[in-house]
Amino acid sequence: MAKTPRNNNKPWTAADIKELKQLVKGNTPTGLTAYELERTKGAIYNKASELDLSLHPTNKSPYNRQKEK
């Protein structure tokens, strides 16, 4: 059985939400976002939905690996 994340069932803090927004803006994969925030993927999906954040990568490449012109 998988280990329960440290922040499981704990309320989201303003710092958690700020970090979530930064990770989403940086196209960080959902699994890595969950790991960084020590929450489940489901918690990340739910909070992103509440905040109207899209978890779909804007450029289909994680970590903003866009080629410079």
Taking only the tens place, the pLDDT of each residue in 13-47 is 999 999 999 999 888 889 999 999 999 999 999 99
Q: For 22-55, b where at least 16 C-beta lie within 10 A, e where not — what string? A: ebbeebbebeebbeebebbeebbeebbeeeebeb
The answer to whether residue 1 scores a pLDDT higher than 60 is: no
What are the tokens at 9?
């069932």
| Domain map (residue ranges) of the chain | 14-56
pTM: 0.75
55 touches 30 (CB < 8 A): yes
Neighbouring CB atoms inside 10 A of 69's CB total: 3
Q: Count other Cβ atoms within 10 Å, centred on residue 17.
A: 15
Confidence class for position 67, pLDDT limits 50, 70, 90: low
36 against 2, higher pLDDT? 36
Residue 63: the pLDDT is 60
